[in-house]
Structure 1
Amino acid sequence: MAPGSGTRPERRGQPPGGWMVLAALALLWVSHAQGGGKPGCPLCRTPTLAPGTERSFLLELAQRQILKKLHLSERPNITRPAPRVAVINALRRLHARRDGLPEPFTTWHSPDADELAYEIISFAETEITSPSGTALRFRFSQGTGRDVHILQAQLWLYLPAQQIGRAQVTLRVSLAGALLDEKRLEARAGGWHAFALLPTLQGFFRRQETMLRLELECHGCHLNATAGSNSSSSHQPFLVAKATVREAGQRVAKRSLRCDQNSNLCCRKDYYVDFRDIGWDDWIIKPEGYQINYCVGQCPLHVASSPGMASSSHTAVFNLIRAHNTQTGGQSCCVPTRRRPLSILYFDRHSNIVKTDIPDMIVDACGCS
């Protein structure tokens, strides 16, 4: 990912231990689903989060899970980080293959075994179209019969510091005249800025197009510098995305379906946690985030008690909630049936670089208990 900045709140206090953390957060989930004086969906049918609460709920869950499984009472306070050159050199040595060539720590796995996972980085071809406008073109190769699912997409633009002129500048990104994102920025600050592109890029790949053309308007700044008209410029605009690709005809496992608007049966809902959003990008080196997927949906009798359903802490959590919720009756719950570890590279409190695999962090498939 490109460089970014943001607040880095320190997290203090002792998180509850074991599966009680999940129980507390799951109970919070239920309170959101059934709050506001209106009867919510019965638990273990279609638990939902109130609008605007999903993000805060999942970010809190991610923080508690990582700290607990790393046996940390709080996030490390990095006061004297190692020099960047030293870190890069250490990572190069850590990931060197037997033949001596580097193997970057950028590999990640798709939630489904029959999907291929990709990280896409595309640099823009630029063309100045007016004193305040420029066109950004991104080219992609698309094969026929491929189902591309975009998990995350951002456009990164560099704004040079303005020594004269306005106190603020406005950057607008549009597609075919439709505004996608807009930011008002302090002109003297400068730096890299990200613009959200997930729905736009998902629609682009769904239409099987090969060239994405965005319009950039910059009011109050020098657009030549912002657009990085020199192709060798280190400030050239670029697009970065995470995606999974499924080839045509590949089988989809019945119990690992992604949630969509066409079904309310037990399914896996995907959510990407970016460590910058919780201020943890200063001590977690790699990855930049991870999929904190969760299970949601109805469990009718004909899919309940699926063969091979393994007991887990998630099952215990929802059983605890069901015991305190008379609406659920004896109906089974939609819970994880397959999980995998998260590989993580981070600074400890002594600024040592540590690499480890945190077990059972990413939900791959869901089923009915």
Structure 2
Amino acid sequence: MDTKAMLGTVLLLLALAKPSCPSPARVTNQRAEALKRLLEVFGMEDPPPPPAHSKQPPQYMVDLFNTVANADGVTKNPDVLEGNTVRSFLDKTHSEKMRFLFVLSSVGKNEKILTAELHLYRLRPRAPDGPKRHHLCQVSVYQVLKGGDLDAPGGKKLLAARLVALQGSGWEVFSITQAVRDWTEDESSNQGLLVTVQGLGGSLVETPPLQFASGQDHHESKKPMLVLFTDDGRRGASLPVGDFPDFQPQAPLLPSTLPVPKRAGPRSTRSLDQLQPCQRHPLSVDFEEIGWSGWIISPRGYNAYHCKGSCPFPLGENMRPTNHATVQSIINALKLSEGVSSPCCVPNKLYSINLLYFDDDENVVLKQYDDMVAGSCGCH
């Protein structure tokens, strides 16, 4: 996102925060237009409806958000995500059998599938009826092929297989990237997945010694889940901020020479404001006040900040000027050319934020948006 686009975002956030027009009808129209523009910033046409019931997000997605972002959603660990979007899908079959179906209609056509993972929760093993012969079994994940008989040679395609310990419990993750890419290219080819458990000799057993939680009778936190790491190509100029949790508001930028009037009457308020040095000011975005708290899980809001103030001649290093801004300031001060204004106070560092939210299908999405927070200001 360039400087012009960032300024546009700041203006619409300011419009949301404090509508300035006294006419109620006009305020309503202005708010609606601002919300529409803000949705465009977040890559949406309409806000998703809140879940029909008090649905809890998968713990995996909550933990991932907390690993990537601080409490305000600002990216603190930029190397965790592959791409800028993580989508989670719950199984739609709700069956005790090891067949799974994940509906991927919410994946955008412009999204590139980077990695797809099947997450299955391994339950604690039951007490064996007889003596234990082995401590391992083989778990295989198959893609069910369109129109195929599962027992026929062309009915399924092996995607992943490995040995899994019979003891203990926890999540098992299987990579199924190519199958998901096939499904997003041809939705009708999505006939689901089949998971089998075999002994070390390769034979199926009637009562598998290892069982996974199903989508029917087990707690929502343990339900089978498909996780997609994708990238929608929306990239800006955001900088990684490894120490952002301890990030403090930028200290005021003081110009090297700033004339202070001896008296300040009522009419000089605007002049005083214009004489304030270029610096960063708070700009709170409250998702509950906007009306989005029903579908946004985290954060509840964030501080976007905005830049305001003058860039007087001469520009000191504390104003973080570009060479172009320095030349422009000199030309303006010496009146060497008509129509040349003084440099502008704008963000010179931008940081990304992350949203954890429910989409239109009540799937939980973690998405990273670049250029959403002004980290510092300077004269450009």
TM-score norm. by structure 1 comes to: 0.35
Higher strand share: 1
TM-score norm. by structure 2 comes to: 0.35
Report the structure number with the largest CA radius of gyration.
2
